[in-house]
Amino acid sequence: MGSEGPTDEYLIIRKEKIRLIDIISILLFRKSLKSCRFVECSSTEKDGGSGGRIRADDWVTPLVVVVLKVLETIKTPLKWFGLILEFFLNLFALNGGLLGLIWKTITGKLVIPKRDAANYRSFIGHIDGRLDLYKSKSLMNFFPLMEPQAGLDDINVLDLSMMAAKVAYENPAYIENAVTNHWKMHFVGFYDCWNKFLEEKTTQAFIFCNKAEDADLIVLAFRGTEPFNAVDWSTDVDLSTLLAGKLGLLHLGFLKALGLQNEKSFLLGFPKDFTSPNNEPAAYYTLRAELKGLLAEHKNAKIMVTGHSLGGALAAMFPALLSYHNQSDVLNAMYGVLTHGQPRVGDLVFKTYVEAIMRVKYQRMVYRYDIVPRIPFDLTPVSNFKHCGQCVYYQGWYQGQEVDEVPNPNYFDPLSTPLMYLVAWLDLFKALFIGFTEGKDFKEGIVSIFYRLLGLAVPGFGFHSPRDYVNAARLAKFTKTIPV
């Protein structure tokens, strides 16, 4: 696959070091990014590209710096707001609403939510509490862009991938209950993995099989961007990169989430084999070992990797690392990578590499004007991130198109703004009546409607809801490539 090339080309934005004076200098005086105290870069980066002086037409870098500073400032209050909101949502839900809460308080039967309980839902879970897989016979194993697979005739793989990506936001007990009691499948494990640079367990994933014995399908699902986690959102928009040899230039934050050990050298950061000196699980190595063990147990099984948002980014990088380390046993067993609302993860070299190893096995779903698949920006030479894989663009809940590029690919096109707002209103209107038009499985509760109302302010965030991706997976009719 070619020579390794240099491994010390990097650009690191230290968001915790961003000062107001830096933002002013960049915005007003187009100050050189490499001279800012919050940036570290290799000598090759300093010579040009993202490390050079901000040009008059470069609006990406200042915007990213401002967003990173805002997210860094609000990360603690945002986290606590999310925790409090989730607690009260669960308090009301577990006690039967406001009247039930009052009655149970009076009678001494109040149920106090426990974050690790199987009935405790995240904010995502309150937007969409569906747990059962879609049972429409007309959609069994229906996803014409994926190759048929023996043993999966009774599984709608697109629905399963999105449901797994949605459930990945929940706690281990909730996930195990969903897999075991609702999907009637075999739960293997939940993995809470360490990020060396954040010094926290910030990467979560779970694995399950369609059967306990002689499984046909093994599913690995990564948790995505949590709504009230500013660190997750910072990772999505960050422009920090690391040259990964033949893999190309990759998003540094996503590499760290998968278990990178050295942020300035990919060779040192991702050796073929690694054991943590502190016994803290690194996502890539831990999950790779689990899949190897499962393949030894289930000889004919195929692997599907999925994730929504940040989880989709990790799902996209995972097989590239397997190939880089010559893990042919796991890679050859790969049925497919199906991501939903996934951000960009690498440059053109990475795009070419992934498409060479995955061929038609990598499908990337994008719902309408979702902002996350449109970041980090694809604006050469300022930001060189490219999408890879075959893109399925959901024009709505009823039509899925295989496209080369989605409309408004960098989100901030003023010509697309009126249409984005119009479509957000149309989705809200349809959501109010979808329970009548499509059945009770699609009826939306007050939290989902409220989220759609908030999404009217910034449609890009409203379209990122996992509920819309589940609806589209269940309702959309798929067509081949149609010009956008």
Annotated catalytic residues are 309, 370, 464
Q: CB under 8 Å to 191, separation ≥6 — which residues? A: 204, 205, 206, 207, 281, 283, 286, 287, 290
The residue with tokens 């093994």 is 218
Q: Residues 127, 82, 106, CA angle at the centre, nearest 5°?
A: 80
C-alpha–C-alpha distance, residues 322 and 327, integer Å = 5
**Partners of 203 in the β-ladder:** 193
C-alpha–C-alpha distance, residues 220 and 207, integer Å = 5
C-alpha–C-alpha distance, residues 211 and 420, integer Å = 43
Nearest to 181, CA basis, from 191, 192, 171, 173: 173
C-alpha–C-alpha distance, residues 408 and 428, integer Å = 21
Six-digit token pair at 463?
């379209």
For CA atoms 344, 345, 351, 356, the dihedral sign is negative
Phi-psi region of 97 (alpha: psi -120 to 50; beta: other; left: phi over 0): left
CA dihedral 274, 328, 155, 439 (to 10 degrees): 60
Q: CA distances (Å), 471 to each of 122, 226, 262, 398, in order?
A: 19, 20, 40, 9
- For residue 483, the surrounding DSSP H or E stretch is none
Q: CB under 8 Å to 285, separation ≥6 — which residues? A: 259, 273, 274, 275
Six-digit token pair at 58?
């470069």
**Taking the CA of residue 74 as centre, how many other CA atoms within 13 Å lie in the half-sphere pointing to its CB?**
16
